[in-house]
Structures are given as structure tokens and as C-alpha cells.
Structure 1
């Protein structure tokens, strides 16, 4: 199954989905928010990434429906694609929350969240590149890192929420901050879901 040196179109498709997701996450992390207009610009761009991601998923599904043979179980291919799309959707939804709340206060906790999520996206792309090269065993080191970054995000979530309830007296601001922290933690959880799906692929095919 993995002896051919020719790139597999399904693995290439998965890698494109990963690259689009990574680019979106990095764009969100690096974008400098200072005004409400900045939030609108970021939201529009993230929506474009999400739409592009949906198009890539659709192309993959069309390929799956037309193909009799796939390099790995078609359910695993679709699961990996959808889990990566969840990361992108989560990032887009989080940015939409910023715009909805007219929220321009990016604090250190949020920056740390986005840093670890971006690192996870990098590892996901690296893992899909290895999948494309049919080197499944080497994917494990990237899976380990993704899970470690998710644990770091858990720590940030706990500490930032604790500080929020200790020091924030405005209930509206508290709700906004807590909602965004929850959104960011969900993105990190989605990255871990990708790692778990990659583990399943290794288990079934290595």
C-alpha cells in the first residue's frame, strides 16, 4: 500500500487542507488589532480562509466518491480532513467573537493561546507532509508535540480564568473574556483531535 513513490492525490489533498488551516491560524496570530476596523478586516480574511477550506473538503469528498481504492481507509481520510477543518472553523469563530464584542484588548494569555495553536498547526502540517511521503512512524513526534501544546493551553485556560474571576469586577467584561478563553481552548482541543486521528491512522497502517 505504501510502496509507491508517486505522491498520492488523497494525501496531497489532506496536505493542502492542513496548509490552508495553518496559514489562517498564523494570519490570525500575527494580525495586529488596534481598532474596530481592524477586527472587521481580520474577520473578512478569516471567513475567506474558512470558505477555501470548505472548498478543499468538498474536492476531497468528490475524489472519495469517485475512487474505488484509497491509500488508507476512506473514513480515516475524511475524519482527518474534518478534524483539521474544525481547527480552522474554531479560529474563524473565535475571530468572529472578537468582532461581535468589538473586542480589541488582546492580552498576554490570548497571545500565548494563539502561539501554541500556531505551533500545533505547524506540527499538523509537518505530520501531513510525512503522511504524503508515507512515513507514518515519523509522524509520532509531531503528534506528541501537538498534545503537549494542548496541555499548555489547558494550563493557560486555568490560570487566566482564575485571574479573571479574581480581578475583573465588570460582569460584562468578565463574560466577554471568559467566552474568548473558552473559544481558544476549544481550538486547542480540536488540534488534539487531529493528533488523535493521526494516531489512529498510524495504528491501522504502520
Structure 2
């Protein structure tokens, strides 16, 4: 076969059977972006620096770009190495964690709230879970079975956030500053929602491990 004929055949095959995107790499990159956002959330809770908080808005914008790119690749893919629904759930849940990080800062700024120790501790736990997710997604391509431990670690971090949330409420509801109570409770809820999305993504990661191991 001539070089020209081989090139034509290759072009035809690529059109009929397009190359499968590297979804393992894409999910790993997205999960790393999540850890970066949560790192900034922790830094804001430690310092109260609005400049740090403002970076979360850019992070959320960048996360949307990554999400759209990954979903587009999923929609266009002829085949996928793992279940399409699992990929979609992972993409959207990872994005939601970043969304809640940004919403947490935005509402704190709007309500003129300064961070407290409960917010900081919850943010640190979310960071632990996000780092576990990033470690797990990084293992899917070569050692998927080991990613189950990372999924478990992320779920444990979410349960610790939930316990901290329940512990924060009774302390918050002491006294008669009801406006402050209402404001801070909203922020605690946003952090709890971020942890919930993190746990949902951990469940998806575990489902993927079970199916491909």
C-alpha cells in the first residue's frame, strides 16, 4: 500500500472510529483543579483575606471551562473506557465542589462575615477529601483497585464534616444575636453541601473501581 493510500485509510478510520479521549487523564486534571480551589478556600478561612477569596471566582470560571470541555469530549466520544454515566457524574460532582467553594466566599462577602473556627475546620476536612479524590482518580489508569481506599477516605472526610456541622449548630444558637446565627448557619450549610458533593464523587469513583478492577 502506498503512503498516500495509507494516509487516506487512516483518515477514514479516524473519522469512522475517532480516537477515544483520555478520560482518566481528564478526570485527574479536573480533580487537581478542585484541590487547588479548596486550598484557596482554606487559605481564606485562615486569613479572611478578600484577595484570596476573589481567586475563588476565577477558579469557578476555570472549572466551568474544564467541565464543558470534558462533557463535550464525552458527548463526542465513540467509545469510553468506563461507563458514560459514571464519567458524567464525576465531571459534574467535581464541578459542584468548586461551585460551593465560590458560593461560600461570595455569601460571606455579601453578609460581611469573618471566618470562624468551625468554617476553617470544615474547609480543612473538605481539602482532605478533595486530595483523596485527586489521588484516586490519578490511579484509575494503572492501578484502579487501589483507588478504592481513596474513595473511602473522601467519604470519611464528608462524615467528619457532617459531625462538625451538627456540633457547630448548638454553639451557634446560643445567645440572642439571631441575625448572626442565620448568616453563619447559611455558610455552614454551603460547606456541608460541598462535602456532600465530594462524597457523591467518591461514590462514583468507587463504582468505577468496582467495574474495571
Structure 1 equivalent of residue 148 of structure 2: 140
In the alignment, is residue 119 of structure 1 matched against residue 119 of structure 2? no
1:130 maps to which of 139, 142, 151: 139
In 1, Cα distance between the equivalents of 2:164 and 2:180?
19
Structure 1 residue 143: Cα displacement: 1.2
Which deviations, in whole Å up to 9, do the C-alpha atoms of 1:13-72 show, x marking residues without a partner? Answer: 1111111111010011023544xxx33x23431111111111111111222233211111
Q: State the SS of the aligned residue for 1:72.
A: coil
Q: Which of 89, 98, 114 does residue 99 from structure 2 map onto? A: 89
Once residues 66 and 172 of structure 1 are traced to their aligned partners in structure 2, the CA distance between those partners, rounded to angstroms, is 49
Measured in 1, the distance between the counterparts of 2:72 and 2:191 equals: 32
> Superposed, which structure 2 residues align to 1:137-176 within 5 Å?
137-165=145-173, 167-176=174-183
Q: Partner residue of 2:117?
A: 108
d(CA) in 1 for partners of 2:118, 2:77: 45
TM-score by length of 2: 0.85
**In 2, Cα distance between the equivalents of 1:60 and 1:134?**
21
Deviation per CA, 1:110-147: give whole Å up to 9, x if none. 1110110010110010001001x332210111111111
RMSD (CA atoms) = 1.6
1:134-178 CA deviation, whole Å, 9 max, x = no partner?
A: 32210111111111111111111111101111x232110010111
The DSSP-based 3-state class of the residue aligned with 2:143 is coil
Equivalent residue in structure 2 for 1:182, among 183, 189, 198: 189
Q: Which has the higher Rg, Structure 1 or Structure 2? A: 2
2:6 aligns with none
Whole-angstrom distance in 2 between the partners of 1:193 and 1:163: 28
1:26-105 map, 5 Å: 26-31=39-44, 32-34=46-48, 38-39=49-50, 41-104=51-114
Equivalent position to 1:20, from 33, 54, 59? 33
Out of 43-52 and 116-125, give the one that drifted further.
43-52
Question: Which segments of 5 or more consecutive residues in structure 1 lack a partner in the other structure?
Answer: 1-7
Q: Residue 203 of structure 1: CA displacement?
A: 2.4
Tell me how far apart the structure 2 counterparts of residues 86 and 157 of structure 1 sit (CA, whole Å).
19
Alpha-carbon separation, structure 1, partners of 2:74 and 2:41: 31
Figure out how many residues of one structure are paired with residues of the other and give that number.
193
